[in-house]
Each structure stands twice: as C-alpha cells, then as structure tokens.
Amino acid sequence: MISADRAIDTILSNIDRLEIEDIDIHSAYDSVLAEDVKADIDIPPFDKSAMDGYAVRARDITSVPATLGIQNTVKAGDSVSEGVKSGLCVKIMTGAPVPSGADSVVMVEDTQIAEDGGVEILKEVEKGQNICLQGEDVKKGTVVLKRNTVIDAPEIAILSSVGKSVISVYKKPEVAIISTGNEIVEPGKPLKDGQIRNSNGPMLRSMVISLGCKSRYLGIAADTEPALRKKIRDGFKSDVLLLSGGVSMGEYDLIPKVVSDLGAKIFFHKVLVKPGKPLLFALKGKTVIFGIPGNPVSNFTTFHVFIKPALLKMMGITDFEVSLNEAIMDIDFKNRNERVHIVPSRFFFKGTELRVTPFTLNGSADIIGCSKANCLTIIEKNRGNIKKGERVKVLPLN
Ligand code: AMP
Ligand code: MG
C-alpha cells in the first residue's frame, strides 16, 4: 500500500506524452502545440485605417475647420495604387489600406460635408492618428506561439491569422472503458433482482471526453476470467484502459489476476486514500491501465486525483501540477481517517475568501450526494474533525 503522493509520482514517471500528429486547426481546440509557429506576414499586413473617415496629410490641416476636396473612396478589401494629393483627402472605411501620402485618418464624426461637396475637418489632426501601421502587432518571422502552448480560442485565431491551417500537436489519448461486474446493467435495460445500473461507465466516459480525449466504451464484462480477458485484450489496443470494479479483495475481484496473466506489469495496487483504496496502476506495452474501485464515488474521486494528471501528461501538458488551493471551511465536518480523505465538495468566494463546503455522503456509493461538486477537499491522514473556519486543501475539478 503506497501513499497518494507516491502513487501520483509512480504514474507520472512511468508514462510519457504521445506522438506528434498533424491536424486541421478546426479540430485543434484544447490540443498542445508540438512546434513553434512563426508569423508568415507582418500583422497588420498593410497600413490600415482604424476608423471610417478621411485619410489626410496632417500638414494640409494647419487650422480648423479646414476644407479638403474628396479625391476618391477606398473600402476594406480594395488595393490602392493612387496616393493622396496635396490639399485633397480620400474617403476611407475601417480596415481599408491607407493610400500613400496620407499619414492620418480623421474619423467621420469629426467632419461634416462642406457646401462645395468637399469635407470640413472640424478637429485638429495629430499626425499618425487612427492608422494601424503595418507590422505594429507582429513582424513577419516572429514566433507567435511556442511549442507546448495549449490551444484555446485566442490561439486558434492566432494560427488563422498567420496562415497555419494545419499544425503539429501531441496526440490525445484514446481511452478504452470497461465496466465490470455480474450485477451491472446498462441504463435503459430492465433491472432484475440483485442488479445495479452502470453509472460508472457513462460517468468515466464523460470525464474522459471533458479533457478532450477520445473515449472507446467497450461495455460490461462479467466477473469471469474469459469475459474479462476478451474485453481487456481489446482494451489494450487503446492508449489508456480504464477498468471499473473488480479490484478489491472479493473472491470475484479478478482484475489484478487477469491483467497480470495477460502480461501487464502492475506498479501498484492499493493506495492510502479514502475512498479509492484498491486503485491499481499497470502498463501493458505502452497501454496505461487503471483498475478503479467500483463504488461510484471512488470512480469519481480517483479519476480526478490520479487518472486526469496521467491523461494531461499524455496529451502534452508539461506545466501541469496537481495544484491544491487553500480554502476555509464553511461548516464543521466530521472526519476520522487513517488515510488521506478525498471529499467531493463545493467551493465559492465569500468576498475575497475562498470557502469550501465538503459534502457529507452516505458512503462511497452515494453518487447522488456528489452532484454540484466543483472541487475535492483533500484532508491529510489522521487529521480528525474539522471546525468551521479552519484551513483545508482543495483540488478544483475544472
Ligand atoms: P467492486 O469494486 O467491483 O467490488 O464494486 C464495488 C461496488 O460498486 C459494488 O457495490 C458494485 O455493485 C458497485 N459498482 C461496481 N461497478 C459499478 C458501476 N459500473 N456502476 C455502479 N456501481 C458499480
Ligand atoms: Mg465487482
């Protein structure tokens, strides 16, 4: 039996990020970049008007109001060849290229049409105003996104603006999921005496998907060696295999035996946490295997504490730390535990203070009591009862 810290270290030091693949930017959200990306052009690519108005030469406006003739009009998307002539201006729209000769744009709100059809400039002009200069945001050749950057919405926009429609990223793991147990029945099927609905399979699947990983649900295996062997062999084809149930001390908890008979190396089986003590971690070739205790609360907490860091590392997130926040207890909480106690909880801000309410559950099967959890309170072993106002560590779920 090993500590939670040792278990996390063992997992992270025995797995690696996956290989690199090229993907279209439209499916790149939440991936981790595996290359430096440079700007292929200056941004903006030309001197661009920031306003609807008139492109002028500042020196033509020595006092206001001043009247200028309108030479022509440029719209966004036009290409301009003709420069603005002395004493004239060019009517210009936001996003349009500023014609040569012009050094400033006067916004339409600071003008009025003169009686002779020209335009009257009503406010003094500061040279350079309302023009975004070519390359002022980024110069061609600059690295705009570094390798290992997680691609969020702004990064998708950046990739688009430098013309990268296909990028190299670390592959996201494909995660096979098997629920085990003679008593387990899929939701939607009739429930006979002694049977329990499969809540873990769908829950694990949703947690896997929420990290952007691909899930491969392989259904329910009965508690027999042949049934388990068949599905587990299939699960070995994925990058990760999650097995729910069958890792405890019962006569029909066959996962450790079957997994090891099939040639997997078991790194640990049992961790000093509550719930989730029988957690198993193994490798078969490159396939990462977790045997997760079947009680739904254990499935939920062990996923967040032990499995999620592994999946994040595999998808290339290198600056990942199991980051615990300190929060202040909002209630008294009964606690007596020789193991690290992991309690589904809800945290919130009261003013600037982070407060937490751990949920009092009716045991490890009480998944209903876990609804609305947004964090886990991690209580060190042997801590005893905790009073309102005391400090505890919390692990945010998102
Ligand atoms: P086990 O880890 O197989 O000993 O299961 C522990 C408890 O969790 C038992 O009461 C099981 O019925 C229950 N359980 C196991 N698998 C699931 C599942 N997929 N969905 C809901 N409950 C489960
Ligand atoms: Mg079982």
pLDDT at position 262 over 70: yes
Note the pTM of the prediction, 2 decimals.
0.91
Q: What class has domain 325-396?
A: mainly beta
Confidence at residue 336, expressed as pLDDT on a 0 to 100 scale: 87
pLDDT computed for residue 321 by the predictor? 63
**How far does the centroid of ligand 1 lie from the alpha carbon of residue 181, in Å?**
7
Say if residue 6's pLDDT is above 90: yes
pLDDT digits (tens, 9 = 90+) for 11-36: 999 999 999 999 999 999 999 999 99
Which ligand neighbours the alpha carbon of 198 most closely? 1
Q: Name the token pair of 87.
A: 């004493």
Which pair of tokens denotes residue 26?
Answer: 């439209």
CB 147 within 8 A of CB 46: no
Provide residues with CB under 6 Å of ligand 1.
179, 181, 183-184, 196, 198-201, 244-248, 250, 253, 293-296
Instruction: Return the domain boundaries, the chain.
Output: 4-18+172-314, 20-43+137-170, 48-132, 325-396
Say yes or no to pLDDT of 322 above 90. Answer: no
Mutate to test the pocket of ligand 1, among 182, 184, 255 (most ligand atoms within 8 A of CB): 184
Say whether pLDDT at 225 is over 70: yes
Q: Using most ligand atoms within 8 A of CB, pick from 177, 179, 196 the residue to mutate for ligand 1.
A: 196
40-97 pLDDT, tens per residue?
999 999 999 999 999 999 999 999 999 999 999 999 999 998 999 999 999 999 999 9
Distance, CA of 166 to CA of 180 (rounded, Å): 40
pLDDT tens track for 34-52? 999 999 999 999 999 999 9
Of the candidates 141, 138, 131, the one whose C-alpha atom is nearest the C-alpha of residue 43 is 138
- pLDDT tens for 267-307 read 999 999 999 999 999 999 999 999 999 999 999 999 999 99
| CB 210, CB 170: distance < 8 Å | no
Give the end-to-end CA distance of the chain in Å, rounded to a whole number: 29
Look at residues 384, 373, 321, 316 and name the one whose alpha carbon lies nearest to residue 346. Answer: 373
User: Is-same-fold flag (20-43+137-170; 325-396)?
Assistant: no
Question: 217 and 204 in contact (C-beta within 8 Å)?
Answer: no
Which CATH class for the 4-18+172-314 domain? alpha beta
Question: Which protein residue has the closest C-alpha to ligand 1 atom 5?
Answer: 294
Residue 355 vs residues 301, 373, 375, 392, 394: alpha-carbon distances, Å: 20, 13, 11, 9, 10
SS3 267: strand
CA distances from 146 to 37, 63, 162, 313 (A): 6, 49, 14, 18
Homologous superfamily, domain 48-132 = Molybdopterin biosynthesis moea protein, domain 3. (2.170.190.11)
Instruction: Give the pLDDT band (50/70/90) at residue 398.
Output: confident
CATH 3.60.10.10 given to domain 20-43+137-170: no
What is the Å distance from ligand 2's center to 270 Cα?
16
Over residues 203-219, the mean pLDDT reads 97
Instruction: Quote the ligand 1 centre to 180 CA distance (angstroms).
Output: 8
Provide the residue count of the chain.
Answer: 398
Would you state the pLDDT for residue 320?
A: 65
- What mean pLDDT is predicted for residues 312-336? 88
Please report which ligand is nearest the Cα atom of 183. Answer: 1
Q: What is the residue-averaged pLDDT of the chain?
A: 96
CA distance 21 to 33: 10
Confidence of residue 138 (pLDDT cuts 50, 70, 90): very high
Tokens 């998907």 -> residue: 209
Instruction: Map tokens 């030309």 to a residue.
Output: 46
Strands 280-284 and 265-269, by their bridges, are: antiparallel
Mean pLDDT score, 131-142: 98
Query: What pLDDT sits at residue 323?
Result: 73
Please name which ligand lies nearest the alpha carbon of 182: 2
Q: Which residues pair with 20 in a beta bridge?
A: 170
Q: Relative to the CA of 246, which ligand 1 atom is closest?
A: 3
CA dist., res. 45 & res. 114, Å (int):
34
The candidate with the shortest Cα–Cα distance to 280, out of 294, 293, 269, 267, is 269
Neighbours of 321 (CB within 10 A): 6
- pLDDT for 185 beyond 80: yes
